[in-house]
Amino acid sequence: MSLLEDTCGAIAAVDRTVAIAAQRLLDNKTKPRGSLGRLEELACRVAAIRGTPAPALPVKAIVVMGADHGVAEEGVSAYPQEVTRQMLLNFARGGAAINVLARQAGARLTVVDVGVREPLPPLPEIRTRRIGPGTRNFVLGPAMSRDQARAALECGIEIAQELIVEGLTLLGIGDMGIANTTAASALTAAFTGASVEAVTGRGTGIDDAGLQHKIDVIGRALTINRPDAGDALDVVAKLGGFEIAGLAGVVLGCAAGRTPVMLDGFITGAAALVAARLHPDVAGYLLASHQSVEAGHGVILRALGQQPLLDLGLRLGEGTGAALAMPLVDAALHILHDMATFAAAGVSDSGA
């Protein structure tokens, strides 16, 4: 079997009995039961993923994948395509928002070129795993071949496996790719059946005319490519991006390795949707960091059964939302480990 098939075969549903055991631990802490709300829920979800009621504090990394999209030639973004490459170089220099927020969160940053149009110079800060010089314009036919889609997925799986072997226990994912909200909207419409209008937003800040043009482009792509919603590999090959497929592979690799994945916004949500269509049990390994202002993000979160931890009006990508939410995992697990029980503190329990 292929790496993709082997990985999907290794994915099992999270253990809900462990979540119940974690909740019992929380109920014995010196507080009214359930009073820490979604922080308790987060602790229990991480416990179920890790397979232990009191998992160790996470060792964190954020994987940012960058690639170019042929559909950029349709003028669907407010920024020129060369910005993808320029921003990966900015990541390497440590000057982007994700660099700042990853440092603050105590997370290692792993940047991967899976298909920027013009190759980058060799840099220790960027992993080169190029599938090709960007995807093709999906208005003219499939964005990539089925073999390329599989290669991108397996690239992501390999990176997840490498990081897990190195001891990372919480992975966030982020993206960089001019025009990738167009691809993400197309994927969302294809997988969920939602209208193109309902899942398409302004991306990097296009005006009303630009938004309508973007909607028209996506509609044409769906008509021309006729993706099969029951075949996730077909959908991502026809409508996706190398970085979206790669991030879907990271999600699959994490699920197979019982490692939680902190999603960022719309693009990483689309990647998670690809992964969940390849294996439905993937959804149990996801943590949704925030609610993006992109129109399709809410549609994706509902399809994945996820409730975001934060709502800050973000629409940057890069993994910034994931970095912001990672300290909430730290906080939730610190409560499990460090907060006194009623018995230890000599505090009377309500007996509830």
Catalytic residue positions, numbered? 318
The dihedral region occupied by 241, where left means phi > 0, alpha psi between -120 and 50, and beta the remainder, is beta
Phi, psi of 35 (to 5 degrees): -75, -15
* Buried/exposed 99-127: b ≥16 CB within 10 Å, e otherwise: bebbeebebbbbbbbbbbbeebeeeeebb
Tokens 């202002």 belong to 293
Query: Of 316, 267, 261, whose CA–CA distance to 289 is shortest?
Result: 261
Residue 51 φ/ψ region, left for φ over 0, alpha for ψ in the -120 to 50 degree band, beta for the rest: left
Contact status, residue 169 vs residue 52, Cβ threshold 8 Å: no
The angle at the Cα of 126, spanning 121 to 130, to the nearest 5 degrees, equals: 75
Report residue 307 as tokens: 């409730």
Separation CA 26–CA 20 (nearest Å): 10
For the chain, state the CA radius of gyration: 20
Residue-wise burial string across 232-249, b where 16 or more C-beta atoms lie within 10 A, e elsewhere: bbbbbbbbbbbbbbbbbb
User: What Å distances lie between residue 202 and 198, 264, 337, CA to CA?
Assistant: 12, 17, 43
